[in-house]
Amino acid sequence: MMTQAFYTGISGLKVYSNGIDVISDNLANISTTGFRAYDAQYSSLFESTLSSASSNLLQSNTVGVGVQMQTTAMSLEQGTISLSDKSTDLAIMGDGWFGIEKKDGKPLFTRAGDFVFDANNDLVTNDGYYVLGTMGKNISADNILTKSLVEVPLGDITQQSKLRFPKTLTFPPQPTKQAKFMANLGVGKEGHEVITVGASVIDAQNSRNELKLTFTRSAIQTPPGTQWDVVATVKSLDGETIYDTKNGKVAFDEGGALISSTLSSINNNGTNIAIDLGKGYDGIVSIDIPVVSGSSTADGIKGGELQGYSINQNGEVIATFTNGMQSSVGKIAVYHFQNDQGLERISGTRFAQSSNSGKAIFYKDANGKNILGTEIANFRLEGSNVEMSEGLTELIILQRAYDANSKSVTTADQMIQKALSMDAR
């Protein structure tokens, strides 16, 4: 029994010392972004079974002979979410891990989303690990946006790479291809013989020009209804350059609805613009009511230069341009595992896949497309998931358990010394 007390006490000293180390590490990282706490779990090293008969019933009890640390289990609780002033600070709201890697290295996984763009506009961690994701493939070799995307589809898990974006990026001009006009020309009474309606249009050279329609009541009228001559002109905003002029005629029925137009299109410095005067009462009309200013709508977008990159809650890397336009150019990947607790801990916030965790996977939707499977909050950071009050309580319990085992070793030693001294007599 005295020898057993030694073994039990010494094993307790060793195990609870390790347990104190685990809890102390948790508490030391209570302010570390993305830190995952660990819980120490214990089991008996050996057990002795004691059987006794009482009232014709056989009772069995076990007595532990020593203790061992069976495992340290990762806590999967959500950490505290705090506000940030950077859109590149991200927090995963639920299950999942960000993927990061060094150049030519194996990927690691983390919940710490305090990312930045480095000098090369790579999205990286503070110590230079590349953040993994899918590039939008909508940037040409000469840094021109080839397609405006609302969302970048998440690629295959084996094709994720570092997210690198150019320092300069141009949103190319999209020339105007159609202009629609709305106005009431009246019926030519009270001096309203000439009506002008204009539209702002973009050409392929990224210049903003003016398309103006001038309506003049035709000298010869054929009742019922009214007829008007129209002259369309495209010129530069300063008025010094006229790119094209077209003439046409429009006719309205007795109710003022448009029934025909010979003006269909005009050239805008190399780009053809379709002129839409509407149909019936949807567009240009000729109604005997007071004439008001007309209006117009035109497609086309003026080109712009890159203002900067940001990240939204869907993990999309968004490029913003000086013309007010935006486009997704990449998507951050979120990885999942069958057993998160099986991940191999590399540091306090970084983990590697193992045989226990299984291989990293992407979630898929009903159509088989890869999805994040969780929500990402931008301008947010997930802090440590260590609960201080719980950790301090556990630390006190472990310290007392350590003291108790220390006393059992001391008591066993005293008992052996007394036994030896008795034997010597």
pLDDT digits (tens, 9 = 90+) for 258-302: 999 999 999 999 999 999 999 999 999 999 887 778 899 999 999
Contacts with 343 (C-beta within 8 Å, 6 or more apart), sequence order? 74, 109, 337, 351, 352, 353, 354, 356, 357
Least confident of 149-153, 286-290, 407-411: 407-411
What's the CA gap between 97 and 335, in Å, rounded?
5
pLDDT at position 21 is 75
The winner for highest mean pLDDT among 188-192, 196-200, 403-407 is: 196-200
Q: How confident is the model at residue 402 (pLDDT cuts 50, 70, 90)?
A: low
Least confident of 23-32, 164-173, 242-251, 283-292: 23-32
What's the CA gap between 193 and 197, in Å, rounded?
14
Domain ranges of the chain: 2-49+63-76+384-424, 81-171+305-382, 187-293
pLDDT in tens, 209-247: 999 999 999 988 888 889 999 999 999 999 999 999 999
pLDDT at position 407 is 65
pLDDT at position 234 is 97
For residue 128, how far is the Cα from the chain centroid?
Answer: 20
pLDDT in tens, 53-106: 555 554 555 555 666 656 677 888 899 999 999 989 999 999 999 999 987 778
The mean pLDDT value for 349-373 works out to 93
The mean pLDDT value for 387-408 works out to 70
For residue 37, how far is the Cα from the chain centroid?
Answer: 25
**Residue 422 reports pLDDT greater than 80:** no
Residue of 176, 190, 183, 253 whose CA lies nearest to 222: 253
Least confident of 73-77, 164-168, 248-252: 73-77
The mean pLDDT value for 159-172 works out to 94
How many alpha carbons lie under 13 Å from residue 225 in its C-beta half-sphere?
Answer: 15
- Rounded to two decimals, the pTM is 0.75
Q: Are 187 and 226 within 8 A, CB to CB?
A: yes
